[in-house]
Amino acid sequence: MSAQSRTARLIGPGTKPRNFVCAADVARLSVRALLEDPPPFRVLDIGGPGHYSNVDVAALYARTAGLEPRTSHLPAGIPKMMAVLARPLHPGIARVLRLASLPDDAFPERFEGTVDFERELGVRMTTLEEFVARQVQTAGLIPRPA
């Protein structure tokens, strides 16, 4: 399959806005917290800037790679059924499948404190656009000339 024919496959409608955070940012902040003297005895709520749906993320990857955004949607009932079948074999995967089958409005996944968080800790969180651009570059999907 060529890069031009790839399609993002999403579970359900993929329209729920959520907050994505770069794992490298979490690692950097964790090391920083562990090295503080004395260590901070508090919970750090960590979130990235912006709220995006899975459809938004798929479209961003496609645009960044110079491709036409294309998605297909797996009905939410299928992962729910797969969760029942997977539970005796792998309870963790079964939980992920069950969560994926919940309606978009089942629970919020937004983080509103990024600006305050960045100001308090003096860090700048990676934007989704920056993360996707690095991933596309690493994968060797160079955008087509306009």
CATH number at residue 127: 3.40.50.720
- pLDDT tens-place string over residues 51-80: 999 999 999 999 999 999 999 998 888 989
Nearest CA among 95, 133, 125 for reference residue 26: 125
Instruction: Compute the radius of gyration of the chain from its Cα atoms.
Output: 18
- pLDDT tens-place string over residues 109-130: 888 877 777 777 778 899 999 9
**What residue numbers bound the domain in which 110 lies?**
3-75+106-138
pLDDT band at residue 4, thresholds of 50, 70 and 90?
very low
Which residue has better confidence, 137 or 113?
A: 137
Q: Is 14 helix (H, G, I), strand (E, B) or coil?
A: coil
User: Does residue 49 belong to any structural domain of this protein?
Assistant: yes
Nearest CA among 116, 111, 96 for reference residue 19: 111
Provide the whole-model pTM. Answer: 0.78
> Contact at 8 Å (CB) between 75 and 12?
yes
pLDDT band at residue 31, thresholds of 50, 70 and 90?
confident
> Contact at 8 Å (CB) between 76 and 103?
yes
User: Does residue 91 belong to any structural domain of this protein?
Assistant: no
